[in-house]
């Protein structure tokens, strides 16, 4: 038999091909400026073929963003997490988060700004990749409190506050490239270090 498996494999391959064409276009030209026809051209299929693999354009965006989140999660988890210095781990993770955003600015905006607009609220629900990213952050804060490097703060709120700070600096640097920022690395460090300083025991 085996032909069924081959066909399934081919379908999956085409799905991936669509996804990677969409990502490349979204990232380079912006979600709004990419038409289904452009994607279709790139993969040399008719525009409507895409609809056999994705519900609509927003679904395509959603899939692209899920991949981005997985990649971010992977980046964060690669950081060697030596428990002996949880503050340093937190600092490094914060930097890695911002740097990820700056390295793939359009991916970042797609995931954390554009998508929420098109898929109200989804993406951070239970079991989602987004939730796993946030869990990672929560665990780090928790460790800082446990080792009394931080004072007895509310882990949940603190995690969200830290996320706010790194999210903010990432987006400002992406969205206003012409603003006279002080040296970029200095700004990122200041944001992270000031937050950490404010949380110390």
Q: Under the criterion CB under 7 A, does residue 30 sit at the interface with DNA?
A: no
Cβ of residue 135: shortest distance to a second copy, in angstroms? 12
Burial of 40 (0-12, 13-18, 19+ CB in 10 A): middle
Among 18, 39, 90, 191, binds a second copy (CB under 8 A): 191
Among 5, 44, 121, 152, binds a second copy (CB under 8 A): 121
Q: Under the criterion CB under 7 A, does residue 103 sit at the interface with DNA?
A: no
Q: Is the dihedral of CA 138, 158, 72, 108 positive or negative?
A: positive
**Contact of residue 161 among a second copy, DNA, none (CB under 5-8 Å per partner type):** a second copy
Q: Under the criterion CB under 8 A, does residue 198 sit at the interface with a second copy?
A: yes
Q: Under the criterion CB under 8 A, does residue 177 sit at the interface with a second copy?
A: yes
Q: Under the criterion CB under 8 A, does residue 127 sit at the interface with a second copy?
A: no
Binding mask 46-85 for DNA (x = CB under 7 A): xxxx-xx---xxx---------------------------
Stretch that binds DNA, among 39-47, 65-73, 101-109, 178-186 (CB under 7 A): 39-47
């Amino acid at each position: 038999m085996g032909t069924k498996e081959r066909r399934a494999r081919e379908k999956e391959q085409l799905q991936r091909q669509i996804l990677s064409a969409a990502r490349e276009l979204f990232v380079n030209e912006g979600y709004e400026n990419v038409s289904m026809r452009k994607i279709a051209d790139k993969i040399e299929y008719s525009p409507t073929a895409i609809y056999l693999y994705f519900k609509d354009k927003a679904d395509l965006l959603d899939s692209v963003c899920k991949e981005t989140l997985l990649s971010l999660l992977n980046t964060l988890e690669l950081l060697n997490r030596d428990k002996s210095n949880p503050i340093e781990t937190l600092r490094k993770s914060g930097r890695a988060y911002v740097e990820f955003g700056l390295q793939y600015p359009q991916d970042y905006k797609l995931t954390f700004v554009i998508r929420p607009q098109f898929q109200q609220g989804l993406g951070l629900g239970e079991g989602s990749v987004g939730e796993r990213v946030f869990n990672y952050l929560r665990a780090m804060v928790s460790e800082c409190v446990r080792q009394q490097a931080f004072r007895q703060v509310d882990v949940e709120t603190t995690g969200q506050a830290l996320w706010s700070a790194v999210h903010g600096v990432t987006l400002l640097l992406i969205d206003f490239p012409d603003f006279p920022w002080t040296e970029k690395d200095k700004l990122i460090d200041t944001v992270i270090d000031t937050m950490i300083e404010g949380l110390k025991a």
